[in-house]
């Protein structure tokens, strides 16, 4: 990815965050968590496009988010459990990367 | 296909094939939208076809709810001055919104007949949408309908919550199933 392409993606990401912030004023309260989870996926997407970067855990996390994020429209409880599961997996990964047993 | 078949076949789709929608089909959908009623026959509804890839890309950037890869969209919006002049505040604040919903429903049903699918979006910046599309201040954007060919390998549709199917008979609280 060139600096120009990265600059464009960061700009788009900033615009997403700003419009999502405005949406949080009026939208259903669970859409805030949805936007943040979606933002995590978008950041990973940008990271994936950086040449030479291939993080297996983050790739799997993004795939999981993209597959399951719409569950927020079926059940707040399930979506909350889904976020907790993402956090649990990420903490396990953090410990693994820190050399601590999960 | 009968109208009833199309109505009961309709689902919200967020995964589309990577191919454009023919302009003639988008025009048909836009005309279907404008066939929906308006309060007092007041001509306050505006319908815009959006199929320019660069414009769709810009809209996606100011619409956190535009989560699909739909290659086209139809925006339904209201000229508030015309609405208020024709129907007062009721027209401006209530009827026009109801009628935009009716127009969007027409699009979603007509899309089925044309082999297309749709997804309604209201999660976007009003200011951003108006700036991208050069919509004047006297208008209010009501609903964006994403349009595309449904991807055959898309995930299952979101399940409708049971409360979304309630039908009463003659009195509130008396279900047709009682």
Q: How far apart are CA A85 and CA A83, in angstroms?
A: 5
Which positions ≥6 away from B27 have C-beta within 8 Å?
B49
What is the rounded average pLDDT of the residues A53-67? 93
Name the residue facing B159 among A15, A67, A74 (closest C-beta): A74
Would you tell me how many other CB atoms lie within 10 Å of the CB of residue A52?
Answer: 5
B122-147 pLDDT tens trace: 999 999 999 999 999 999 999 999 99
pLDDT, position A78: 94
pLDDT top residue among B86 and A102: B86
Q: Are B20 and B52 in contact (CB under 8 A)?
A: no
Please indicate if any CB of chain A lies within 8 Å of the CB of B128. Answer: yes
Please indicate if any CB of chain B lies within 8 Å of the CB of A38. Answer: yes
Residue B144, H or E segment: strand B139-148
Q: How far apart are CA B85 and CA B81, in angstroms?
A: 6
Q: Are A38 and A32 in contact (CB under 8 A)?
A: no
Looking at chain A from residue 60 to 99, which residues have their Cβ under 8 Å from any Cβ of chain B? Answer: 67, 69-71, 73-74
Residue B29, H or E segment: helix B23-34
The pairing of strands B168-169 and B171-175 is: antiparallel
Residue corresponding to tokens 């199929």:
B51
Q: Are B72 and B59 in contact (CB under 8 A)?
A: no
Please indicate if any CB of chain A lies within 8 Å of the CB of B37. Answer: no
Chain A residue with minimum CA distance to B161: A74
Pick from A14, A19, A42, A66 the residue to mutate for testing the B interface (most B CBs within 10 Å): A19
The pairing of strands B168-169 and B117-121 is: unpaired
Contact list, A70 vs chain B (CB under 8 Å): 14, 155, 158
Name the residue facing A16 among B61, B155, B159 (closest C-beta): B61
Question: How distant is the alpha carbon of residue A48 from its chain centre?
Answer: 13
What is the DSSP secondary-structure string of B45-64? EEEEEE--HHHHHHHHHH-T
Contact list, A35 vs chain B (CB under 8 Å): 64
What is the rounded average pLDDT of the residues A22-33? 93
Q: How far apart are CA B138 and CA A42, in angstroms?
A: 35
Q: Which CATH superfamily is domain B3-175 in?
A: NADH Oxidase (3.40.109.10)
Please indicate if any CB of chain A lies within 8 Å of the CB of B159. Answer: yes
Partner-chain contact A23 B123, CB within 8 Å: yes
B8-65 pLDDT tens trace: 999 999 999 999 999 999 999 999 999 999 999 999 999 999 999 999 999 999 999 9
Question: How distant is the alpha carbon of residue B18 from its chain centre?
Answer: 21
pLDDT, position A53: 77
pLDDT, position A102: 55
Residue ranges per domain, chain A?
A: 3-97
Chain B residue with minimum CA distance to A14: B61
What is the DSSP secondary-structure string of A44-101? HHHHHHSTT---HHHHHHHHHHHHHGGGGGT-HHHHHHHHHHHHHHHHHHHHHHTT--
Closest CA relative to residue B44, chosen from B142, B120, B144: B142
Would you tell me how many other CB atoms lie within 10 Å of the CB of residue B139?
Answer: 18
What is the pLDDT confidence band of residue B158, given thresholds at 50, 70 and 90?
A: confident
Q: Is ipTM > 0.90 here?
A: no
A42-53 pLDDT tens trace: 999 998 888 777
Please indicate if any CB of chain A lies within 8 Å of the CB of B61. Answer: yes
Residue corresponding to tokens 């024709």:
B86
Q: What is the DSSP letter of B150?
A: B
B59-89 pLDDT tens trace: 999 999 999 999 999 999 999 999 999 999 9
Phi, psi of B73 (to 5 degrees): -155, 155
Residue ranges per domain, chain B?
A: 3-175
Distance from CA of A48 to the nearest CA of B (A): 19
The dihedral through the CA atoms of A34, A79, B152, B23 has a sign that is negative
Would you tell me how many other CB atoms lie within 10 Å of the CB of residue B4?
Answer: 9
pLDDT at A75 over 60: yes
Distance from CA of A47 to the nearest CA of B (A): 18
pLDDT, position B69: 95
Partner-chain contact B123 A15, CB within 8 Å: no
């Amino acid at each position: 990815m060139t600096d120009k392409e990265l600059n464009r993606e960061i700009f788009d990401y900033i615009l997403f965050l700003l419009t999502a912030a405005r949406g949080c004023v009026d939208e259903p309260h669970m859409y805030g968590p949805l936007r943040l989870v979606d933002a995590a996926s978008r950041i990973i997407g940008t990271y994936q496009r950086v040449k030479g970067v291939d993080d297996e855990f983050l790739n799997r996390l993004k795939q999981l988010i993209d597959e399951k994020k719409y569950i927020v429209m079926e059940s707040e409880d399930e979506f909350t459990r889904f976020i907790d599961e993402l956090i649990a997996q990420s903490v396990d990964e953090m410990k693994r990367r820190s050399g601590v047993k999960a | 296909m009968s109208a009833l078949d199309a109505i009961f076949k309709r689902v919200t789709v967020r995964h589309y094939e990577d191919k454009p929608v023919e302009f003639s089909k988008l025009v048909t959908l836009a005309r279907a939208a404008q066939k929906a009623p308006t309060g007092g026959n007041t001509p306050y509804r505006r319908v815009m076809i959006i199929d320019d890839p660069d414009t769709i890309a810009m809209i996606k950037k100011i619409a956190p709810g535009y989560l699909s890869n739909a290659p086209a969209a139809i925006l339904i919006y209201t000229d508030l001055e015309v609405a208020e002049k024709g129907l007062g505040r009721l027209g401006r604040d209530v009827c026009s919104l109801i009628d935009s919903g009716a127009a969007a429903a027409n699009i979603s049903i007509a899309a089925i007949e044309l082999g297309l699918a749709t997804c309604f979006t209201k999660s976007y910046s009003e200011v951003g949408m108006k700036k991208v599309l050069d919509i004047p201040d006297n208008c209010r954007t009501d609903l964006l309908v994403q349009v595309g060919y449904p991807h055959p390998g898309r995930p299952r549709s979101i399940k409708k919550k049971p409360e979304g199917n309630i039908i009463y008979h003659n009195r509130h609280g008396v279900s047709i199933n009682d």
